Every structure is written in C-alpha cells, then in structure tokens.
Amino acid sequence: MTDRSSSVPPLAVEAGFFRGRRIAELQQAMAGGGLTAEDLVRHAGAAIERLNPQLNAFVHVDIGAALATARERDAERAQGKARGPLHGIPVAIKDNVDTADMPTTMGAAHFLGHRPAADARCVALLREAGAIIVGKTLTHEFAYGPTGDRSVQGAARNPWRASQITGGSSAGSAGAVASGMVPVALGTDTGGSVRVPSALCGLVGFKPTHGRVSDAGVFPLSPSLEDPGVLAGCVEDAQLFMQALSAGAMAPAAASGTDGPRVAWVANAPFAIDTAAVTARVRAAAQRLAGGPLRDAPEVTRHARALQAALGAIQRAEAYEVHAERIEDQPEKFDPEVLERLRASRGVLGWEYVRALKERARLQAEFARLFQEVDVLALPTVAITAPALQQRSVAGPGSAGVRETLLGLTNPWNVLGLPAISLPAGWVDGLPVGLQLVAAAGADEALLALAASRWQPPRE
C-alpha cells in the first residue's frame, strides 16, 4: 500500500535547492541568521550549473554579480534594513524584459548581445523589493509562441520530462522555477505565456488585470493584451512577487467571506479540444477548491467566437506593427515559424482592428455583468499535458494544432484584460496539469487570496 504523497511522480532531474521551499520560509531562516542571501545565490548558482545544461532554462547567468548584490542585501539585513518581501531572494527574469546589467535578447538573433540602457520598470521594482537577479530565462522568439522550443538559444526542456516542452513563451522561467533553480521568476503573458508553462511545469502562474503592472521596458508582443506576471512554486510566493511588481499596490489579502466561492465551470469547447483525463483531473481540483458543486457558465461559451475574432485581429495587428521594419529588413534572422506567423499577421485590415477594439469593449461589459454572479471562472489552463519538443499537432480525433490547443483556454482572458491564475491540479501520465481561475477586472488581490486560502497542493 502506497501513501498518498508517494503517488506524486518524480521530476526528470534532481531538483535544485528551491524546489518545495517557500519564500516566507527562506525569509524566516534569513531573519533567524541560519541562512544568508549569499547562501541562496550560491544554491541558485549550483542548481543552475547542474541543471541548466539539461533544461536550457537560463540564457544568461551572472552569479558573480548576484553574489555581490547578495552581500549588500545581507549587510542591509544585518542593519535591520530589509527592503521588502523579496529581500535577498534570487529571482530569474524572462529575456524579453530589459535589464541594464545583463543582455536582453528576446530570444532573437536580431538582439544577440543587446544591452538595454536601463532596467524595465518591473525589474527596478523587484530590485527595490530586495530581489537578486541571477539571470535571464529563455523566451520563445519575441514571445511569439506558446511552445518555448523556438529561439536563437534553442528550446527549453520540461523538468518533468526533458523530451517535452515547458510551454511558453515564458519557457525558461517555468523550467527554472519548476526545477528549483530559483524560487520565483518574472514572465510576461499575452495569450497565456505565463499560465501555459506554469500549467505544463506544475507551477503557480499569475497574470494580473491588464495595465495594473507597468510594461515599460518589456519588449512588446501585442501591448494591449500583454502583462508582466509571475511563475512561482506556491500561491503565497506569487502574492509576494506581485506585491513587489505592483510597488505594494497588490498586497496579499485575506479571502473575503466564510462561504465557499461561487465557482463557474467553463467547458473547453469551443475554445479548445477536450482531453478527458485532463479535464477530469482539473474539474476535481476545481470542486475541491469550491468546496461544493460547480455552476455552469454557458454565457462564456456563447462569446467564444467573438472573443477569438477580437483576439486574432488585435494580436496580429499589434504584433506586426512591432516587427514591420524587421520583417522587411532582416527576415533571415527570424526563426522560420515565427516569421511565417508574423507575415500572416500583416493582412489584418485597419477597420477589422478598430472593430475588434469595439468588440472587446462590448465583451468586457458582458463579462463585468457575469462577474456579479460568480467569483471565478474555472477551467483547465491547458487542455493537454506538455507535448514533445517541436511537436506541432495533437494526436487523436480532431487533430488540433499544438499552438491553438495550448492557448485556446488562456487567451480569451487576455482579450478581456482579466486577472487569471494557473494552479497545479495534479498529474496525467506523470505530467502536470493546471486549474485556471479567472476573476473580474481589478480583482487581482481577491483572486490570489482565494487561491491562497483554498488551494491545496495536489497529491495524486
């Protein structure tokens, strides 16, 4: 007879120091003097040295600089001057976010060796909160892909099974946290780029309400859909990270009310294919979280077509605008798949983009009404487990594309600008699956608090 915890499948790698360790626990140890920020950076450096060759999560590491910073943080702490919730905590930064002291490549040959003049606003905020940046993590080229296996630095590999993708585009951030190289990492999410790799790697991934976190210094994919977010080992770590990213505006909150939350279940169709084993696992996790039966949300399904149409026009027009001159002048430097996708984005007409913005406003009003009746929508983050590197179609009836399948359940919430979180919901065939919760615009703290108070780590 096996006990419940033994049914958790093993990682494919020997986990780094930070796997299973919470930031609060690290802070407590540092406060007690039993651990220093320098220790933490050394642990990060050791884990990266050992694991990164297998996982390709980091594309740039500077442990030397991080150690110097760690000693500063330790000296500050010794003087009773802790900067904030991440004081002394090693973090990783997705490589489409500007760092003044490290290259920022966007995963693209066009930017190899590129050194930004200044930190992105969110990087500056992390440093102000005491975080120590140990390196930059692999992004799908220009963040334009959910697989994380196309970049000038190659493919990131899933710590649960190295033959599989991490998901993307915040691919390296997911690999780094899931394998325990760092406790927490910055990602960006335009259609699911934080939540998808979080789900496929068994992490907590949170994308805030559009605009609540500054995107200054983040290389744009589709600015009106995009937000910085966090990949973490647990909800509490994500809360601390978001507190830092929002300059304290998103302080961890207590869940409101004593009743169970009003959770409405959203069917996969027509957003994505339905994989019975994944859906069953995720739905069970949603029921545990709700503490009772799930409501239905047929109105969400009714808006699926309009959401997808608006998303397509907005993302494609904005993405092409970012790259128009590069596509003209340096097409050969793109990954062929990314280039093809970008070229196909050129054809969106101006009036279709304008119409999409109007549709988005209409849909936002519809969903604002829906969120008067429910607290969160629940659905799988991704309808499948992590596919293999370079796999581009999903086997089985329907033969869906991998890209559409990975993004179909996450990108509707980017169109609407809603906060959304992916929570580890268990495993299917030894690979993690995620439960996604979506809340009303502006309800970021409440969503995080709900997840913190009601989510339990999966055991089987």
Residues contributing to the site for a second copy (CB under 8 A): 313, 316-318, 320-321, 324, 345-355, 358
Smallest CA-to-CA distance from 384 within 404, 367, 368, 366 is with 404
φ/ψ (deg, to 5) at 233: -85, -20
Query: 187-208 in b/e burial notation, b at 16+ Cβ within 10 A?
Result: bbbbbbbbbbbbbbbbbbbbbb
Nearer to a second copy, 346 or 403 (CB): 346
Give the nearer residue to a second copy in terms of CB position, either 73 or 316.
316
User: Residue 387 in contact with residue 168, Cβ under 8 Å?
Assistant: no
Q: Which is nearer to a second copy, 85 or 191 (CB)?
A: 191
- We find the least distance from the C-beta atom of residue 176 to a second copy, in angstroms, to be 33
Integer CA distances (angstroms), 212 to 79, 123, 250, in order: 33, 15, 9
Nearer to a second copy, 50 or 353 (CB): 353
CB of 122 to a second copy, least distance (A): 21
Instruction: Please say whether the beta carbons of 376 and 438 come within 8 A.
Output: yes
Structure tokens at 224: 């009106």
DSSP state string for 184-241: EEEEEESSSTTHHHHHHHT-EEEEPSTTSS--TTBPPSSTTT-EEEEEESSHHHHHHH
Least distance from a second copy to the Cβ atom of residue 72, Å: 37
Give kind and range of the element (H or E) at residue 245. Answer: helix 235-245
Q: How far apart are CA 175 and CA 148, in angstroms?
A: 10
User: Is omega for the bond preceding 179 within 30 degrees of 0, making it cis?
Assistant: no
Bridge partners of 61, per DSSP, are 135
| Cβ–Cβ < 8 Å for 77, 37 | yes
Query: In the bound complex, what is the minimum distance in angstroms from residue 319's beta carbon to a second copy?
Result: 8
When the beta carbons of 259 and 325 are compared against a second copy, the nearer one is 325
Helix (H, G, I), strand (E, B) or coil at 341: helix
Options 136, 151, 169, 345, the catalytic residue:
169
The DSSP secondary structure of 272-290, one letter per residue, reads S---HHHHHHHHHHHHHHH
Order of all β-strands in the sheet with 431-438: 58-61, 132-137, 90-94, 184-189, 227-232, 204-207, 420-428, 431-438, 376-380, 263-265, 295-296
358 flagged as catalytic: no
- Closest-CA residue to 425 (of 417, 434, 416): 434
Least CB distance to a second copy at residue 215 (A): 14
For the CB of residue 143, give the shortest distance to a second copy in the complex, in Å. Answer: 17
Active site annotation includes 422 = no
Whether 173 is catalytic = no
The least distance separating a second copy from the CB of residue 330, rounded to whole angstroms, comes to 17
**Contact 219/242 with Cβ under 8 angstroms?**
no
Nearer to a second copy, 70 or 313 (CB): 313
Q: Which of 151, 173, 179, 193 is an active site residue?
A: 193
Alpha carbon separation from 308 to 211, 304, 346, 413 (Å, rounded): 21, 6, 17, 10
- CA within 13 Å, CB half, 161: 17
- Find the shortest distance in angstroms from Cβ 302 to a second copy: 21
Strands 58-61 and 132-137: antiparallel
Residues with a catalytic annotation lie at: 94, 169, 193
